[in-house]
Structure 1
């Protein structure tokens, strides 16, 4: 579901605090996010009944909005950020995050945001430019992605401690960052 600018979504909460919705008769998934991008995923059971109006929600053009008590005829006050489930996995810009942990031993996570479907290549290099490991070489859908590297080469053998580079390519985008393996 994508809610356009100026659109709105209204949710309901019954006395047992179980969520229900008029979005579809087959149930839905709603994702709540706070300012630190902690997510709460609520699966709506189509068998739930609506007892009373408790919550109201309107989205902006980015698919973000406010989870709060309704204030008919007035602007809502403080709220928890709400994003619909389809926008959670779509980034607007290609972005590579610094690996974590860094320095690492024996495993690190490489995280990146892919704004559109495309061929993604993630390659690990030593400081001389030699290919150590190709972690990803596949078409991926848009979204927030992550892959782990366990400090091994393409043959599965452990590599020595040192500084390594990881390069991520997707379409015309390419970016490289450093990481440090300690042993």
Structure 2
């Protein structure tokens, strides 16, 4: 599978390392341009490359992993997604820790807001409840596999993300749609920051 990243910070890098280690291609992108990612792509190996956001967004699966204030600028110039899958790994921090100011989106969940900015995308919320070190680590532990919560409104898109992340070693748990499941997963929800294992 070809996977693109919008953003190339710790979360995107952790997902990229899992992807290339399981034979997937990665196209990394950020706001500073491909040249700034050459070293990272070389470190990830021959399955990784650096590209523009437009090139990353053309992949089969696109990981959105930028800071919340950067989300609109990261996606505003992208063409319609035409049914491609976007994994929304964002959290609505208006300001970074230790201040923890959370964006007020009214009745919308964070992923519903993100979906509204991505015409044609099939958005699946995933990875946002885990601290980055848990995403980067081997999901297999003596006591079981790292649980990965996900939510989305398209069953086929969720199945693709479930199978992809299960291939990485995670134990995906489907929480339903972006409204119900997304509310459980987003900042302030009962599953935000919850790190649990599933016994095999």
Report the TM-score when normalising by structure 1.
Answer: 0.21
**Rg bigger for which structure?**
1
Report the TM-score when normalising by structure 2.
Answer: 0.20
Instruction: Tell me which protein shows more strand as a share of its residues.
Output: 1
